[in-house]
Amino acid sequence: MALDFVSIDFETANHQRGSVCQIGVTDVRDGRIVSTDSWFINPPTGLVFTNTHIHGISASHVQHAPTWGETLRRLTTVVQSAPIVAYSSFDKSAYNAANSLLGLRDPGFEFFDALVLAKARLQLESYKLPHVAKHLGLPSFSHHDAGADALACAQIVLHLSTHTGVSDVTSAWPESRPAKARASRSAYAHKQSVIPETNAHADPTHPLFGEVICFSGDLDSHTRGDAQKLVAEKGATVSGSVTKKTTLVVMGGYDPATLRPGAKISTKIQKAMDLAAKGQRVEIITEQVFLELVAR
């Protein structure tokens, strides 16, 4: 089987996973990059932009852009029967959320996570996309431009695949654990988690420095323990529960209906909302915002 795949990257307009506003697509056939393209998308969630500071995209860029439905049809034409590769699970969840918002059927794409591949093949302090690309000697690129990110993802996969002698995408990835083991991962990780100590020598200008952070729900990108270590290293204090000292609550498993009136939410989120209503400076953020803050 040839080394065929299509790497993709999404940028989103706001904290809603389905607010896709740009897509990058790199087509790889027989181990060679055939093309790279990107285009704006009119978000299924409307023209509410809060992530412009991350990628520079605003409502003026997308108001006449193709819809998600049009984008899905165009993507299907490019992908054909090839697997899709994205760097982290965020892109697949954004894809699923956009389909769900519009009631569109998934064409049945097979997704692979290049972040998993990088962690399996490399030993690095950071596995952020630019860091991995630099480590592999790949060209520098404009991070958070969907086209540039999709191309970098493809280059990383090609580098890690060809240097291990595999001939197709499926065999490049490490074998996944049995379903039963995956199902128990979250509960085990939470049970075994030990609150890490705050790094007193962290950069005081980092946005997480001095924050008191509590995690609620499961993250797609990290185990609870790994996420706690990340923020502690940045100078934040990790809290196992929401208290009057908590300043930031990271909410995993977010979907657009989570914070609507009458929705069932976790006790931690509810307590944070109650404290905020009483005037406490406590902010509830999604996993995407959390990842952006950590990366700064």
Residue 24: pLDDT band (50, 70, 90) is very high
Choose among 274, 220, 283: nearest CA to 94: 220
Average pLDDT, the chain: 86
- Confidence category of residue 192, pLDDT binned at 50, 70, 90: very low
Q: What is the pLDDT of residues 239-268, one digit of tens each?
A: 999 999 999 999 887 655 555 555 567 889
Rounded CA gap, 180 and 291, in Å?
28
**Phi/psi at 7 (5° precision):** -95, 140
119 pLDDT band, cuts 50/70/90, is confident
Q: With contact defined as beta carbons under 8 Å apart, do 95 and 10 qualify? A: yes
Query: What Å distances lie between residue 102 and 44, 90, 288, CA to CA?
Result: 7, 19, 21
What ranges do the domains of the chain cover?
Answer: 5-172, 181-295
CA–CA separation, 103 and 92 (whole Å): 16
User: Residues 90-113: pLDDT tens digits?
Assistant: 898 889 989 999 999 999 999 999
Q: What is the pLDDT of residue 153?
A: 97
pLDDT for residue 125: 82
Neighbours of 108 (CB within 10 A): 7
May I ask the CATH class of domain 181-295? alpha beta
DSSP annotation of 209:
T
Instruction: Name the pLDDT band for 184 (thresholds 50, 70, 90).
Output: very low
57-94 pLDDT, tens per residue? 999 999 999 999 999 999 999 999 999 999 988 898 88
For residue 191, pLDDT over 70 is answered with no
β-bridge partners, 286: 251
The SS3 call for residue 263 is coil
Return the pLDDT at 2. 76
The H or E element spanning position 34 is strand 32-40
CB-neighbour burial class of residue 223 (10 A; exposed 0-12, middle 13-18, buried 19+): middle
Claim: this prediction has a pTM higher than 0.75: no
Distance CA 254, CA 270 (A): 14
Residue 173: the pLDDT is 81
Class of domain 5-172: alpha beta
pLDDT at residue 151, rounded to an integer:
98
DSSP category for residue 86:
E
Task: Say which residue, 276 or 38, is predicted with more confidence.
Answer: 38
Nearest to 49 by CA among 19, 69, 70: 19
- Of 152, 168, 171, the residue nearest 5 (C-alpha): 168
- pLDDT of 197 > 70? The answer is yes
pLDDT band with cut points at 50, 70 and 90 for residue 156? very high
Domains 5-172 and 181-295 share a fold: no
36 beta partners: 26
Task: Give pLDDT, residue 22.
Answer: 98
The pLDDT, as a whole number, for residue 177 is: 37
